[in-house]
């Protein structure tokens, strides 16, 4: 007997339809799966057989053929276990086949019939909801993702529980599921989360007020956060580079609903969807170790998965001790930093992942860390210095909007009463600058202004044009360096509440751009 059920798989971070066709015919007992299935899907045969038998059903004696369509789509997910099992039960007559066709099903099966959570459940649920199905059945372990996707989604804990839903009419199934707590409520309000997020983010435990001195660095961080500019901090060990980077989240603007949903989808695909509701409150902050490989940073694999740059989407990618990273790994950031997306090609298919992140880098001035230090002598040779600095190539440096040199904190600053800026002060400045930019009619961060819109949003007067011309020729700037400098100046002007970019704004922007 023939049956057909509906499911989905992830391709990149997007859901794709999969139709599971099942047929039981005469022949030697066994399960054959066709349709460009991976090893993970092929191994499901033993899991499905044990799950059906341990759930109290008799396993069919005939030849079972499972066809996964479209055949051109590569399928690599354990989420097809449950729809295949339901298809077998429907072909055997245990479930009405007509009912099974109108539902979307995802879930992994354990040998005892339990339904386990799967990665990438959120994009699959969102895709199936767009298809207008009567209902979607997902594992109970993916309830947090189901709440984000919206109502009309049923969570199950076992194969038996799933089969019971199909044996009821649509109305009875809804009542049964609601009594058992299987039916999710309406979509979790991302707007309500955003309204409540500010207080929770501000009390995350890290505050710029804890950092003594380094007021110049705090000023640079405010500019970087307000315009989402890349920042490179150079200073001797212990001067506070990592502390400053770790507190970026306390002053960054909150995510809007679109950014929250994008971030939740990425976390779901990467296997971190279980705590997605909690992590919707703050922008991602990723700090990969310097030993990370190229694939770990930008993603990849036979079936590509997100790398650190994608996990940092809508947030911060902090690369501490950047000169200790492998040079090829650093160079792989060139295109993602410009294009804000990364595409991997595997066996003729393209897998695209978003990576609109703000990069923060920190480095020592030399291998020993004390070049230019007032109190300690540098022990590095010129060859050591050249080898160390070659890790950061010109093209990478040119893509960093701001660079600052940090000095050691003086004892008086460390022991005296703290009177510098704290996170609340800095956050107010960032918020005011962004509101000012929005009032000018700008809908993107200043660092994301397209080159074609520079004259619209970053127009310079005659005096400012002459000033930048002298700087361009004196410092040998590239066209990219010029446009990025003007964008930083635009952010500084926004912080001052100025519609026009003045020479003082350009001079400060150049100071962050031109470093020894």
At 362, the pLDDT band (50, 70, 90 cuts) reads very high
Whether residues 174 and 32 share a domain: the answer is yes
Please check whether residues 401 and 304 belong to one and the same domain. Answer: yes
- Supply 35's token pair: 């349709």
Find the mean pLDDT for residues 48-63.
94
Instruction: Round to whole Å and give the CA distance between 466 and 379.
Output: 43
Strands (E), 83-182: 103-105, 108-109, 115-116, 135-139, 153-156
Output the pLDDT for position 10.
94
Question: Which residue, among 271, 353, 282, 267, has the nearest Cα to 316 in the 3D structure?
Answer: 282
In contact, 2 and 91? CB cutoff 8 Å: yes
Q: Which of 259, 320, 334 is nearest to 286 (CA)?
A: 320
Query: pTM of the entire structure?
Result: 0.90
116 located within any domain: yes
In terms of domains, do 348 and 467 share one? Answer: no
Do both 293 and 400 map to the same domain? yes
| Residue 398 counted as domain residue | yes
Do 297 and 436 sit in the same domain of this protein? yes
CATH at residue 260: 3.40.50.300
Do 441 and 473 belong together in one domain?
A: no
Q: At 73, which CATH number?
A: 3.30.230.10
Are 99 and 119 in the same domain?
Answer: yes
14/61 same-domain check: yes
Residue 189, domain member (yes or no): no
**Token pair of 309 as six digits:** 């740059």
Domain boundary among 415, 448, 481: 448
Whether 253 is in a domain gets the answer yes
pLDDT value for 199: 46
Rounded to an integer, the average pLDDT of 483-487 is: 95
pLDDT at res. 277? 53
436 lies in the same domain as 455 = no
CB 120 within 8 A of CB 8: no
Residue 269 forms part of a structural domain: yes
Residue 10 and residue 334: Cα distance in Å, rounded? Answer: 27
Q: What is the pLDDT of residue 27?
A: 87
Q: Are 222 and 123 in the same domain?
A: no
Per residue in 213-236, pLDDT tens? Answer: 788 999 999 999 999 999 999 998
Residue 315 within any structural domain of the chain: yes
Which of 179, 203, 238 represents a domain boundary (last residue)? 179
pLDDT (mean) for 408-419: 68
Residue 433 located in a structural domain: yes
Average pLDDT on 362-374 reads: 90
Counted domains in the chain = 3
Torsion over CA of 499, 502, 505 and 506, rounded to 10 degrees?
120
Q: Mark which of 420, 448, 476 sits at the end of a domain.
A: 448
Residue 186 domain-assigned (yes or no): no
Strand order, beta sheet including 135-139: 30-34, 63-69, 14-25, 2-11, 103-105, 135-139, 153-156
- pLDDT tens for each residue of 267-314: 999 987 655 455 566 789 999 999 999 999 999 988 899 999 999 999
Burial class (CB in 10 A: 0-12, 13-18, 19+), 92: buried
Domain holding 508, by residue range, is 449-516
Mean pLDDT score of the chain, rounded to an integer?
Answer: 88
- Same domain for 469 and 407, yes or no, is no
Shared domain check, 267 and 150: no
* pLDDT band of 204, cuts 50, 70, 90: low
What's the rounded mean pLDDT across residues 48-53? 96
The per-residue pLDDT for range 230-255, each reduced to its tens digit, is 999 999 898 889 999 999 988 998 88
């Amino acid at each position: 007997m023939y049956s057909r059920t509906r499911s989905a798989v992830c391709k990149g971070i997007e859901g794709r339809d999969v139709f599971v066709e099942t047929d039981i015919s005469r022949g030697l007992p066994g399960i054959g799966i066709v349709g460009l299935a991976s090893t993970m899907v092929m191994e499901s045969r033993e899991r499905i057989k044990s799950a059906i038998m341990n759930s109290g059903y008799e396993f069919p004696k005939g030849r079972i053929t499972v066809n996964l369509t479209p055949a051109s789509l590569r399928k690599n997910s354990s989420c097809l276990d449950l729809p295949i099992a339901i298809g077998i039960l429907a072909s055997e007559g245990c479930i009405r086949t007509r009912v099974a066709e109108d539902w979307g099903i995802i879930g992994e099966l354990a040998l005892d019939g339990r339904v386990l959570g799967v990665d990438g459940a959120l994009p699959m649920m969102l895709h199936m909801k767009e298809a207008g199905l009567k209902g979607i059945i997902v594992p109970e372990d993916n309830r947090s993702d189901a709440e984000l996707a919206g109502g009309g989604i049923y969570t199950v804990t076992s194969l038996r529980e799933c089969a019971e839903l199909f044996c009821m009419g649509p109305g009875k199934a809804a009542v049964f599921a609601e009594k058992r707590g299987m039916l999710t409520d309406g979509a979790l309000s991302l707007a309500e989360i955003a309204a409540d997020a500010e207080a929770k983010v501000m009390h995350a435990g890290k505050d710029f007020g804890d950092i003594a001195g380094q007021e110049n660095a705090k000023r640079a961080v405010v500019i970087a956060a307000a315009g989402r500019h890349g920042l490179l901090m150079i200073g001797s060990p212990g001067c506070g580079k990592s502390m400053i980077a770790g507190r970026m989240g306390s002053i960054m603007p909150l995510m809007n609903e679109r950014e929250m949903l994008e971030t939740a989808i990425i976390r779901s695909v990467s296997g971190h969807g279980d705590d997605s509701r909690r992590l919707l409150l703050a922008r991602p902050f990723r700090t990969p170790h310097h030993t990370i490989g190229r694939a770990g940073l930008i993603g990849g694999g036979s079936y590509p998965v997100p790398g650190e740059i994608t996990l940092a989407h809508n947030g911060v990618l902090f690369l501490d001790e950047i000169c200790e990273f492998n040079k090829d790994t650093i160079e792989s950031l060139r295109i993602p930093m410009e294009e804000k997306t990364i595409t991997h090609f595997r066996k003729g298919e393209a897998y695209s992942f978003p990576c609109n992140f703000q990069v923060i880098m920190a480095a020592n001035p030399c291998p020993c860390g004390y070049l230019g230090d007032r109190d300690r002598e540098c022990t590095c040779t010129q060859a050591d210095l050249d080898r160390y600095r070659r890790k950061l190539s010109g093209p990478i440096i040119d893509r960093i909007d701001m660079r600052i040199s940090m000095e050691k904190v003086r004892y008086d600053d460390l022991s005296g009463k703290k009177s510098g800026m704290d996170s609340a002060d800095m956050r107010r400045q960032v918020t005011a600058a962004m509101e000012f930019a929005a009032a000018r009619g700008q809908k993107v961060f200043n660092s994301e202004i397209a080159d074609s819109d520079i004259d619209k949003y970053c127009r310079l007067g005659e005096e400012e044009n002459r000033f930048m011309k002298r700087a361009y020729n004196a410092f040998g700037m590239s066209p990219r360096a010029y446009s990025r400098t003007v964008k930083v100046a635009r952010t500084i002007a926004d912080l001052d509440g100025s519609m026009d970019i003045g020479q003082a704004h350009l001079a400060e922007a150049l100071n962050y751009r031109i470093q020894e």
